[in-house]
Amino acid sequence: MSTVELGAENFESTVTDNEIVLVDFWASWCGPCRQFSPIYDAASEEHPEIVFGKVDTEAEQALAGAANITSIPTLMAFKKGNLVFSQPGALPAPALKQVIDAVVDLDIDKALAEQASKESGE
């Protein structure tokens, strides 16, 4: 699957309606963003079961602000609507593969149950 443009109108529904969503926050003037783009696009073709979204931080400044984006590119990963990874900086292909594999392998239900247990003081 190719990448999907995300904006204020479809960001939340995309993140909540899909099992795994990766989001690349970028801008056209950003050199590292342009370097990361073909790596990200190639990964989207290798993993059609995952939604790969892109947010143009220039066009979607309010969304970037709401996501606390302070540096671009920033990659975020969501699983079952939960943010499970967020890191600024362009990743080389092997590092992106590691992130994707970790998100795929993450048992989000177990992680959420463990977090809830810690927060309740058990």
- Residues annotated as part of the active site: 30, 33
Sign of CA dihedral 50, 52, 75, 64: negative
Q: Are 47 and 22 in contact (CB under 8 A)?
A: no
Q: What angle do CA 88, 37, 5 make, to 5 degrees?
A: 90
Q: Are 76 and 85 in contact (CB under 8 A)?
A: yes
Dihedral pair phi/psi, residue 89, rounded to 5°: 110, 145
> Concatenated DSSP letters for 42-71?
HHHHH-TTSEEEEEETTTTHHHHHHTT--S
